[in-house]
Structure 1
Amino acid sequence: MPDFFNTSVGKRRKERKRLKQTDKHVAPAPGSEARQTRRESMRGAKRGSGRLHLPTFDVQDDLTKMEPRARSLSGRRKERQSETRRPPERVWPVGKIWVSWRWVSGILSGGLLLLMIGFFTLDMFYVDTIAIGGVNYLSREEVFRFSDVSQKHIFWVDEEEVEERLESNNNIAAAEVRVGWPPNMVQIVVRERDPALIWEQGDNRVWLDINGLVMFQREDRPDLLRVVYDPNEPVPEELLGAASRVNTEVVHGALLLKARMPGIDVLLYNPKKGLGWRDPRGWMVWFGTGSNMDVKSRVYEAIVNQNFSAVQFGEIDVSDPDYPVYTVLWQKSE
């Protein structure tokens, strides 16, 4: 081996020993002692016999010496990562009051909870009285009973359902329901059906509106036309039942007769002959039903005017104005 190589290696070795002696606080690099041992063994072998005797060393010992440095590097890396991820500390200004949004949301949630508990526990939100308008024949107590909202919570009152319930009553033509806040939580305005005439069957007496719908008689109305079911005919009970209805042709025919002959106060009704009237002159006249009462009344007056001076009528039937029929009780002799 050239001399310059040995000289340079020797210089570097001496310099390293000098640094070790002067800087004791600097720890040798891992594996440096093992490398130095191997180099010295190789030099000794060259100087001696010519054989190369490699020194034996423990690999596990070298790895163990290297572990503290490796562990320290990984630890420092983790520390740096944790420091970068750690959020910066907040600095609160002195003299100002800061409120967390968590506190605000908690207060709002608690207030809403208390409000809901109050809605369902306080008596002021349960219906015990209502405001009613538009009543004429019905009483306010009856409308309140028909609405069926007593002691119900305001949240469970359905306006459409209450309106349908009220309109199912025969005396109520239309209803409007409004739900609000106390004190007038429920407001009801009704429009009652007006009676058109009085219908009598035996001892029962009811009102009929213009469409023939049966209603309970609420008071005496002497100004209304009375229609009495023929007592000689069997009375069907279903005519006076709830939500029952009389043929509209009967109702319209009776009102037209009343308008054509104002002196009529009471009419008879026969299922076969229709509407009838007892003439004060002593006979019965039947007009049938329908809207052509003006024609029938004219035919009746023409028959009476032509024959009254000569005959005494027993019954006159003009239900078919094209073929009127009448009976004669007696006739004056010429």
Structure 2
Amino acid sequence: MSSRRQDSKKAETETPRRTRRKRQVVGATSRVRVLSAEPRPQTSTPRTQKRATFDIAAPRLVLNPWRTTRDWKASRPKFAAAVLMVVLLGALYAMFNADLFFVGEPVVIGNKIVPSQEVAQVSGMRGWNIFFVEPRVVENAVRTLPEFKDVQVYVTLPNTLEIYTTEREPLFVWEVAGKNYWIDKDGIAMRPRGMVHNGWHVRDAEGKAVKYGERINPDAFNAAVSLLNAWKEAPKYFEWTKEHGLTLREEHGWLVYFGSASQMQDKVTALNIVTTQLLKDKRTVAFVDLGSGLPYYQEIAAKPSK
């Protein structure tokens, strides 16, 4: 046992063996290749040019594609389709360029205020091909005129363009900022075209000018409409101010302040009662105020006798 342990210890302590180096022979020459100092002549080889060749295949022209009856029968449907297509193209060209299919003067129906020539000019369809007329576009163009509440357009072959209109009915001549407007029952401002049939005229003393198609002062408009609904025989001329509201001059010469549109029927009833009493008492008043709560009036002092 002791000898084995000693052998194992010796094996662990043994150093690795060194590899032997090759001995160099003294006096031996190294293998070195010596080049001569003279330059080596360069030999140039002539370049050969290569040319590319192409094969061009020309189409074969066949002057008679139907050499046999069988070829003709096989190609007959294609030939008929080609002829039919040419005929259809010619018909379409003639249809789009024939004078028969061009719109002359549009037919305007339902207009009483706006002339038909003005409607036709606004539509812009005079001289157009009937196949290129879009009814929606024409309707939107004619609706730019504020006098129309509704517009419908219909197209009929060969060249008929019908424009059906529904006009706004003017209710007042409205004066504001030095300009006159026609006003319908919805308060829409329109271009004035003379006097309205009922002759009512409203002057907004403190309002601002509006554009055609816009709404006017709603407070003044509502007060005027309420008064006309409550008093059919009212005077034809009204005036609106922020201080007194709707104002008019009564047939006996005094001013009447109605204020806003609220309780207009009660105000008209109170005016009739006050007027009867004033005439009975033979009083001369400057104004009657009905818009500040209870009605009251201001009497004009009698002139002293000389």
1:198 aligns with 2:170: no
RMSD value, Cα = 3.1
Q: Which of 180, 184, 195 in structure 1 is aligned with 2:156? A: 180
Whole-angstrom distance in 2 between the partners of 1:155 and 1:296? 61
Which residue identity does 1:276 align to in structure 2? T
Check if 1:319 corresponds to 2:254: no
Tell me the CA shift for residue 106 of structure 1. Answer: 1.2
DSSP-derived class of the 2:267 partner? helix
Q: SS at 2:301's partner residue?
A: strand
- Structure 1 CA distance for aligned equivalents of residues 244 and 141 of structure 2: 38
Which runs of 5 or more residues in structure 1 are unaligned?
Answer: 1-88
Query: Is the contact between residue 203 and residue 240 of structure 2 (CA under 8 Å) also seen in structure 1?
Result: yes
The answer to whether structure 1 residue 284 and structure 2 residue 248 are counterparts is no
Question: Does the alignment pair 1:224 with 2:194?
Answer: no
Q: 1:303 aligned to 2:264? A: no
Is contact 1:134-1:191 (8 Å) kept? yes
Could you tell me the TM-score, scaled by structure 2's length? 0.66
Name stretches of at least 5 consecutive residues in structure 2 with no aligned partner: 1-67
Residues 133-184 of structure 1 show CA distances to partners (whole Å, capped at 9, x for unaligned) of 1111111101101212233333332211211221221111111101232231
Paired residues, number:
234
CA-CA distance at 1:306 after TM superposition: 4.1
Partner of 2:126: 150
Tell me the residue number matched to 1:268: 239
Computing the radius of gyration over CA atoms, which structure comes out larger, 1 or 2?
Answer: 1
**Partner SS, residue 330 of structure 1:** coil
Please give the alpha-carbon distance, in whole angstroms, between the structure 2 residues aligned to 1:122 and 1:271: 64
Question: How far apart in 2 are the matches of 1:123 and 1:291?
Answer: 62
Q: Does 1:258 align with 2:228?
A: yes
Q: Secondary structure at the match of 1:212?
A: coil
Distance 1:145 1:272, change over 3 A: farther
Identify the residue that residue 117 of structure 1 maps to in structure 2.
93
Q: Percent identity?
A: 22
Q: 1:163 is paired with a residue of what secondary structure?
A: helix
Q: Supply the distance in 1 between the matched residues of 2:108 and 2:253 (Cα, whole angstroms).
A: 51
Change (3 A) 1:213 1:129: same
CA contact (8 A) 1:210 1:251 kept: no
Which is further off, 191-200 or 147-156? 147-156
Task: Tell me which of 217, 220, 223 is aligned to 1:247.
Answer: 217
Going from structure 1 to structure 2, the CA distance change for 1:222 and 1:312 (only over 3 Å counts) comes to same
Q: Give the Cα separation in 1 of the matches to 2:140 and 2:197.
A: 32
Q: CA deviation at 1:228?
A: 2.7
Question: What is the distance in 2 between the residues matched to 1:156 and 1:91?
Answer: 47
Matched position secondary structure for 1:175? strand
2:188 maps to a residue whose letter is L
